Structure 1
Amino acid sequence: MSTSPISAAQPNAAGQNSSARIIFASFIGTAIEFYDFYVYATAAALVIGPVFFPHGSATAQALSAFVTFGIAFVARPIGSFLFGHFGDRIGRKSTLVASLLVMGVSTTLIGFVPGYDSIGSLAPILLCILRFGQGIGLGGEWGGAALLATENAPAGKRGWFGMFPQLGPSIGFLASNGLFFALALSLSDEQFRSWGWRVPFLVSAVLVALGLYVRLKIAETPAFQAAIERKERVKMPIATLLSQHGLPTLLGALAMVVCYTLFYNATTFSLSYGVSVLHIPRPTFLGMLCIAVVFMALATPLSAWASDRYGRKPVLIAGIIAAILSGFTMAPLLGSGQTPLVLLFLVIELFLMGVTFAPMGALLPELFPTNVRYTGAGVSYNLGGILGASVAPYIAQVLAAHGGLSWVGAYVSIAAAVSMIGVLCMRETRDARLM
């Protein structure tokens, strides 16, 4: 971490950023943003198709829902360009507040969009616009949260501090899935499809208010303040990133592919497949996902600690090898339709998601200098989303229909191998200085 001097007024501002405040602010924002994102992912697997797309075929409805799911991943790099520009030009704090607002408003409004039966083709159009807004907001969120944590981290603990934004998705998913689980238990199918699925979207408004309160209390990071002192800000961070740091951006994106593929195939695709094909009751499958994501949360601090002790690359390589092998478990475990074996599959995939995801909170920021760090970390993270997540449930749905779960498992293994290439080609960043 940079030890460059800053102005007399700045230490007071920096002093406001106690470790507890930084940890909570970086964690709560990603938890809320990913809650918003997962609410849609769960709804896409359960109800978006029938409500917004009038296809007669259940498969066609599912595919249409997963297309709208993918729209946000296309929007996320745009959000990382947009918010990254202001994050590297104006500051981390104000940009994080803006990204949270965009995400929260988009999510809440989805809860008010009437279905196709009420307003016809305008319904899916509005849905796609708001889903795009979700992607824009989330595109600016993660990079800023990771920088908030890592640029304030003590020496030798960037992996540990960078872990807290990575815990946010686990908690966000647990909150989202837990709420859907409670609704599934308390409402009939008719009530759930009529209005119950909208409740998690509306709850977002309350969570965003909490997140804004926390984020408005933090100060700017010391590394960005030092960059202002040294007059190192660039006019167009994205132009500087692409012209001078293109390779780290690409390698960071490739490294992220395994995380996304593991997660969305274990959740969005498996939920849809388990309920519609294996005929596992929706509350049962949602309950299993709630259990499995706990293992993802447990893996996150273990992996972050190991990345500080042994380095980012060794931890990622071990996790990716396990992820490649895990693809071969999909057909025998998930395909069995037996609750214990399905649960075991979900636990394996989400545990490995935690293992591979945790080091990214430190690794991606460490790949870039301060003047393009917000943009670089965000673009790498979200380009990985396009490659590993935007089409993952759709591809998995098509592969399952034509070749069965063994083909989907092969897809997971290939995606993990792509990440292995990216990790092997990048430098070790554990000892990099965040100047």
Structure 2
Amino acid sequence: MAVTDQAAASSARLDATKMRKIASASVIGTTVEWYDLFLFGTASALVFNEVFFPDVPPAVGTILAFLTFASAYLARIIGAIAFGHFGDRIGRKSMLLISLITMGVATLGIGLIPDANTIGLAAPFLLLGLRVVQGLALGGEWGGAVLMTVEHAPAHRRGWYGSLVQVGVPAGTLIANLVFLIVTSAVDREALLTWGWRVPFIASIVLVAVGIYIRLNIEETPSFQQVREQGAKAKLPFAYLMKKYWKQVILGGVATLSTGSTFTLLVASGVSYGTSEQGHSDSVMLWAVLIACIIALVGIPFFGRLSDRIGRKKIIAAGIAGEVLLAFPFFWLIDTGTIWGVFLAYSLMMLAFSANYGPIATFLAELFGSKIRYSGLSVAYMLSGLLGSAITPAITVWLLTLTGQSSSIAWYVGLAALVSLVALWLLAENRLVSIDTVDSRQVDPGADVAPAESGVDDRGRATTEHGGSVTVQA
């Protein structure tokens, strides 16, 4: 890559006001998308088994509701490939707008579906179809939002800005559960099953409108502009990705697996377990999720910023280790039957999750060259969702039904985290590599060493950046 090209790309990152605007747009957009997605998870745990699967035993109905929940994850892979193709060919911004609109329409549609008592088998099939559309939208949303911040960010703050996008997960979950908490507190069970559960889905259209308005006013990333100017676009990004980066895709997906299994445990499986097995009220479990999400709102950017100083892999590995160590205590605390036990279990596990999840978006983005980064980042992350988030709710209900012991779920969560730890170890730390490198990234684990990154400062002077330090040349 020419030094002049690097300088031009680096100069586009110097405006702090622009970075705040871009980061805000990404956070709000991902918050809306995750609100819509996890709204479905909460509803699956609390009401969908009765609304859409009323003629089967409660445990079977819950499994069917969670399998419908899981259907989006296969669609996310397809969405990641499709949106990644056009994101690497056309640009990041346009794909972000399309994905947000698609998600909004699907979520509104879910809120308007008649229940099974009204239209019979058509109801769960409509639910499944709209859930798949949600998955397609999220498959393109997350990767584009991450790249909007990471590819604009200064090299020594990529972890911080990338983690801000990750805040959309707890923020969206927080809003989704807060809305559900208000609804469940305001209406009785019969009203909740009849019309109350629809309110959070229909209300999402307001958040979508805000997200679209903000995203209309952001610019394309310097990295993609450079790819476009150099004529370096891949003709078929996914084919090129799987030819040159297949190891990064697979290992990246497996390394991220535990974020999905752990978070889904907290927002779906844990809620279902606490209400059905330990007799906690819906409100207690929703409050536990809310408190945990508040912790994540602080923890995720903290660990993202820390990863800029000491490395992504160290922080992520510490988070995964925490998930392993807390797998059994999480259920022991819930099994005490006390409210404080539930709150403590959720708070500790969410802290470990935050360390794992905060730096992972930037870490994955740095595995791929800018030529196919949208595709690579999106497919790797959505693969992790398919391996972790998608199957966790159904497996945990099945394990609990089979064994009657919460320890079976703890074993599952702990083993998933150990598998992620092994895959993480096999990947390289690329935080010091220029984000504007068009092609070629390491796969094998190695030292945190990379070429210096050249650019210009706000006075037009040449600079050479080594991680967090910048040398200015007179």
TM over 0.5: yes
Amino acid at match of 1:42: T
Note if contact 2:150-2:162 (Cα within 8 Å) is conserved in structure 1: yes
Q: Distance in 1 between matches of 2:3 and 2:95?
A: 24
Secondary structure of residue in 2 paired with 1:99? helix
Could you tell me how far 1:3 is from its partner in structure 2? Answer: 6.7
Q: How many residues align?
A: 435
**1:431 aligns to what SS in structure 2?**
coil
Which runs of structure 2 are paired with 1:50-65 in the superposition (5 Å)?
50-65=50-65
Residue 15 of structure 1 and its aligned partner are, at CA, apart by 7.0
8 Å CA contact 2:155–2:434 kept in 1: the answer is no
What is the letter of the counterpart of residue 430 of structure 1?
A: R
Q: Secondary structure at 2:218's aligned position in 1?
A: coil
User: 2:150 touches 2:161 (CA, 8 Å); kept in 1?
Assistant: yes
Deviations 1:252-291 (A, max 9, x none): 1011111111111122011111112211111121112111
Per-residue CA deviations over 1:218-273 (Å, capped at 9, x if unaligned) read 01111100111111101100000000000011111011111111111122011111
1:88-147 superposed Cα distances (whole Å, 9 cap, x missing partner): 000000010011111111011000000000001110110000000000000101100110
Normalised by the size of structure 1, how large is the TM-score? 0.96
The equivalent residue for 2:141 is 141
1:375-390 → structure 2 map (5 Å cutoff) = 375-390=375-390
Contact 2:185 2:283 in 1 (8 A): yes
Q: Does 1:39 align with 2:39?
A: yes
Kindly state the Cα deviation for residue 297 of structure 1 after the two structures are TM-superposed: 1.6
Q: Which residue is 1:22 aligned to?
A: 22
Rg larger in structure: 2
Aligned partner letter, 1:130: L
CA contact (8 A) 1:330 1:406 kept: no
Residue type of the partner of 2:408? W
State how far apart, in whole Å, the 2-side matches of 1:330 and 1:389 are.
18
Counterpart code for 2:367: L
2:122 paired residue number:
122
Contact 1:14 1:222 in 2 (8 A): no
Percent identical pairs in the alignment equals: 38
Select between 366-375 and 47-56 the one with higher mean Cα deviation: 47-56
Q: Which has the higher helix share?
A: 1
Match of 1:423 in 2: 424
Pairing 1:189–2:214 present: no
RMSD: 2.1
> Aligned equivalents of 2:170 and 2:294: distance in 1?
7
Between the aligned partners of 1:155 and 1:6, the Cα distance in structure 2 is 12
Match of 1:108 in 2: 108
Residue 67 of structure 1: how far off its partner (Å)? 0.6
Cα distance in 2, alignment partners of residues 318 and 287 from structure 1: 27
Cα distance in 2, alignment partners of residues 13 and 318 from structure 1: 30
**Alpha-carbon offset, residue 55 of structure 1:** 2.8
C-alpha distance after superposition, 1:373-419 (max 9, x if no partner): 00000000000001011010111111112221001001110000011
Which runs of no fewer than 5 residues in structure 1 stay unpaired? none
1:410 aligns with 2:411: yes
Q: 1:110 to 1:394 in 2, by over 3 A?
A: same
Q: CA, structure 1 residues 6+259, in 2 after alignment: closer, same or farther (shift >3 Å)?
A: closer
Q: Secondary structure at the match of 1:432?
A: coil
Partner of 1:294: 294
- Any conservation in 1 of the 2:13–2:154 contact (CA below 8 Å)? no
Name the structure 1 match of 2:163: 163
Q: Which runs of 5+ in 2 are unaligned?
A: 437-474
2:319, 2:354 within 8 Å by CA — same for their partners in 1?
A: no
TM-score (norm 2): 0.89
**Hey, what does 2:264 align to over in structure 1?**
264
Q: Secondary structure at the match of 1:193?
A: helix
Per the alignment, residue 283 of structure 1 pairs with: 283
Residue 139 of structure 2 aligns with an amino acid whose one-letter code is G
How has the CA–CA distance of structure 1 residues 341 and 85 changed in structure 2, closer, same or farther, with 3 Å as cutoff? same
Q: Is the 8 A contact 1:293 1:351 kept in 2?
A: no
